[in-house]
Amino acid sequence: MREVAVIGIGMTKFGELWDKSFRDLVAEAGVKAIMDAGIEGKDIDAMYIGGMSSGGFVEQEHVAPLAIEVAGLEDFHIPATRVEGACASGGLAMRQGYIAVASGIHDIVLVGGAEKMTDVVGTEATNVLASAADREWEAFFGMTFPGLYALMARYHMHKYGTTQEQLASVAVKNHYNGSMNPNAQFNRKISIEDVLASPMVADPLYLLDCSPITDGAAAAILAPLDIAKKYTDKIVKILASTQASDTISLHNRKRFDALPAAIHAARQAYKMAGVEPKDIDVAEVHDCFTIAEIMAIEDLGFFEKGKGGKATEEGLTAIDGQIPINTSGGLKAKGHPVGATGVAQINEIVMQLRGEAGKRQVKDAEIGLTHNVGGSGGTAVVHILGVI
């Protein structure tokens, strides 16, 4: 297997981008990544694009050749593939790109992710998102994603004493981090009181415990480490790329206080990278709801099971804390254009490892991790990146 590097990144601003179309977003992120890598379109050997439901959100499927066309790459006839794994689609696209380069099949690979979610009304967005749950046994009976994570939150609160304030402290931290990220959907800081005063969405999750509905795209350029230097000296190495699965339905899951797929993917990733949780300097985790971040930092081994809420409340996951989590603002404040999220997480970690994260820079960050989840935990993807 060849060693693989990320040599370029690019993303759009995330938010309600009513003046931009799906194709505008794809083009902008792709062009930014190509320019950042110092390559030309003709250098690209393959493309993988993550998208959850462009059909449901903008009535457009077959988005891989669409991406090729908007990038002006049609004359090269390179293979372009869309990858779908609900909210983990971007992470999966990244992993497919990694596998293609590591195996020696392709050299320069463009990985992307995009979603345009705000062109439908909120109830329709909720319905499209619910197709990533078990439609027959969950969604048809009225279950939504806030509802599924609310059940996990109640269980965690019951089993470990996790409090409403501890959940809220995840949102407060991530909004604070997002206030320093010009690409974030929300740049405003919030307080615990703001979270607890916001409308209840699915008990115990308030509106400010939820990630928003978002438009956005992100991209990254991958290359074999040995030829990466030909293009750029801003090289970040991929130390591990892992993926694990579980039941699509929550009711058939063996545990409700954790995402077993994430635990599994993380264990494999630490083994592949030859590192331990304590070696990670910064992590972007899948905080689609505040409880999801608390479970993630436990599943990834940063904190003991049941202690994630307390750790967050005590500031251990802040930018200057023991393990900075979601320096970008996370899905909560940066936004969650589902198919783009996994690649946007890679963008943030690469910026951190290059020392380009500005006001939210983690001091001396050398090893970073991304944790991207599909649905209520049916798919989990973990990447570990490091400076060379």
Comparison of 166 and 372: residue with beta carbon closer to ligand COA: 372
Is 383 an annotated catalytic residue?
no
Helices (H), 183-281: 192-197, 225-228, 260-273
Nearer to ligand COA, 168 or 323 (CB): 168
**Which bin fits 174, alpha (ψ -120 to 50), beta or left (φ > 0)?**
alpha
Residue found by looking up tokens 């293979």 in the block: 79
336 catalytic per annotation: yes
Give the Å distances, CA to CA, from 185 to 20, 244, 335.
15, 29, 5
Task: Return the number of the residue (162 or 290) whose C-beta is nearest ligand COA.
Answer: 290
Distance CA 162, CA 156 (A): 6
Provide the minimum distance between the beta carbon of 116 and ligand COA in the complex, in angstroms, as a whole number: 14
Query: Which one from 87, 106, 175, 288 is the annotated catalytic residue?
Result: 87
Q: Which CB, 46 or 292, lies closer to ligand COA?
A: 292
* Nearer residue to ligand COA within complex by CB, 68 or 148: 148
Q: Minimal CA–CA distance to 201: which of 159, 259, 145, 157?
A: 145
- CB of residue 328 to ligand COA, shortest distance in Å: 15
Which residues here bind ligand COA, judged by CB under 6 A?
A: 87, 122, 126, 129, 145-146, 186, 201, 207-208, 210-213, 288, 336
By the 8 A CB rule, do 166 and 218 touch? no
Q: How far is CA 13 from CA 32, 175, 183, in A?
A: 12, 16, 4
Structure tokens at 330: 């996370």
Other CB atoms within a 10 A radius of the CB of residue 80 amount to 22
Q: Which of 156, 264, 286, 336 is catalytic?
A: 336
Catalytically active residues, by annotation: 87, 336
